[in-house]
Amino acid sequence: MRQHGLDGYVAQCRGRGGGLEMTEQRPELARDRWHDFFDEMTRDYEGAEVTIEELRADFGDLLQVERIPLAYLEYDPKGDQFSVGVGGRDARYPVILRHAVDHPRAILADIVGEGGRWAFDIVGADGGETIVTVYFEDVPEAATA
């Protein structure tokens, strides 16, 4: 079973030659690690509940998704796009809903609360932010095996 905590991922990233820097009291993921980091997060947390919120100066804060099962987290370096997919696992959520951030400037990551949630702050090219919260206390058993 994997260690579900930022310290474990920090150690893994540093073991591969770096990966996280501290920014505004939160670790910033190094851009060259985004693809591998989110592939690993998908393997570890597929099926965990996810909340997606947008924080935008032009239209305020908007809750996009609340506690829907995670399908994937990914970064496409060729298209320079971060995306998160939710749903698509059963009759309750039969299709995958996708939220994307084009040309992200930074991705900050942290464990929040009592250590039961990952929070990712994806800063878009326009300065808007997308907050993706992964509730890993709810990870299905198959995802952690």
Out of 113-122, 123-132, 135-144, the most confident range is: 123-132
Mean pLDDT for 37-53 is 96
Q: What is the pLDDT of residues 67-103, one digit of tens each?
A: 999 999 999 999 999 999 999 988 888 899 999 999 9
d(CA 94, CA 37): 27
pTM score of the predicted model? 0.78
The amino acid present at 67, given as its one-letter code, is R
Task: Output the pLDDT for position 54.
Answer: 95
Question: Alpha helices of the chain — where are they, by DSSP H?
Answer: 6-15, 34-45, 141-144
Region of 67 on the Ramachandran plot (φ > 0 left; ψ -120 to 50 alpha; else beta)? left
Q: pLDDT-based confidence at 140, cuts 50/70/90?
A: low
Q: Report the number of distinct structural domains present in the chain.
A: 1
Residue 1 inside a domain? The answer is no
Which range marks the domain in which residue 87 is found?
6-144
Q: Which residues contact 140 (CB under 8 A, 6 or more apart)?
A: 46, 47, 48
